[in-house]
Structure 1
């Protein structure tokens, strides 16, 4: 399986204003240093990364030059690549945003950053919900719900991912306060949006033990999430009962053991073969909705050979939507989902961590691999 691709950004100025009673660091970094403030972000990120030292051979860190990540990663012996070079000695919000833009091109599994609410805002401005992120608390203000409760806790969450544990994804609020008003004794909090954040798992224990009715509710929730995020793209709907719930929720005929195609929530082609799917997908943006075979974990190459390697390459990794109940994922006992497209190079390209839809606005991060491929 591929190494875990961890993006890493440190805001070197985060937390400077706290110890010298400036109630923040925004626009007062020089004053804080004059007052004797010492940077905290490096130390806080070091505490998080220390948790990962026993697993560092499994990780490649994509980071920024100097104090924004390079110095710490290299001093701790991590394998890292520099993808953004700051052009100033004193970094600022523009550096953070430009770094995020570069990191989005690196097929990351997770972006880990050290900072405060201002840093979270800067990252949100670029990443939106394109990538799971996790904050290492290092700022004066930590109102946003995108941080571990401690630096060590942030490291533990990443460690869970590396161990193959079922880690939920949730939406965390990006919040910040008006520091100028705060220094005058007024608390004015503003919500800027949400980012996807891996969290300690809250498992739905044995969904099927509650009976068919409970299972159906979970499938309906999964379907509702998929449908809510449908735009005007073409959607190829794979086989299996979990995916069939999407068609049922839309009131459309479904080929349970075949592959159907919908657009604008209407069925345009049923039970399609490989060549038919290629013809449809060649002229428009296409997304693929698939699930796993229970017990085996295959998502490609078992029962859906209509989804050819050529088609998957055309669609692209980012347009594959995996849906599954947490019960089915837990039954794999940590084993990855399997791709077996018949094209080893494609299988290698498809490996990594995916956001799997497990309910309505309920997701987990889960690894995809081909056990026959060795890095």
Structure 2
């Protein structure tokens, strides 16, 4: 039975991530990102998804857009696509909408590579007229229409049996807004959930988390705080006011640098030993790859996974409903180096052993991995 997939790539999706811009929407932001040294990665991540799809469904036919909006990614995956639409250069949201509308009547599933802004464009173009699935290449990706990583997108596209309505959410004026729903494959372990709001951080819990982190970081060492209300509240315990959406660096409980880029982090950790503290995204469970791309694979390797600390309130952990924590660094080898379980600090000397998204047979999921050995 023939299977035809449409592909639309937003070639500038995610360019603001590693340079600390918290998004990539708009020509001005994109120009600033490139001026800061941003390198587009959307086509590469789309190619990973298509290669996985082709390996599982050699009979797949791909219809796409000329050049950077799909054709290049398909050819990089070893697929000769049928090009049915040509976009302007540089591309815009209008091109995404027009391309999706052109492809929709001709395909069984529409794959799109981008972030929440691209999801909004696809929603405007096709509504609930056909199944769609996002290949995550943006910065935030709060919507529930994306696979958990590019390989998962190819895996899901190749084999799914049910669909569900999934929320399209984007931040407007700093606040999340629901724009509608798209029909996506119903594969809970491989398609991400919608981000949910903070459940609140109690003073006792956050002071305990702060005390625990403080005991792990030696005087003079750096503490890199990922974004989130929990990490911001931890910084506030120490008297530091940090942006809730940025990646920030403290030294001896004082703010050293705010809203840092990946390159700035690399320079800092090359000079001074560092630790990283992350809190999972509420509802989704992502530790890395959503809104904190400044913590690049190079930064993570330089710091060392044994110095990565996961913190969350017990309420946030319970709200995950047993779904695993997730990592999507963009580096397969690094993702596989994470253990099967991590300890989540929920207070002073209080931890929960919680699973990551690896299979039990993974060779690096060993109980003696440094992250699994940390004592509560």
TM-score norm. by structure 1 comes to 0.48
* Higher alpha-carbon Rg: 1
TM-score norm. by structure 2 comes to 0.48
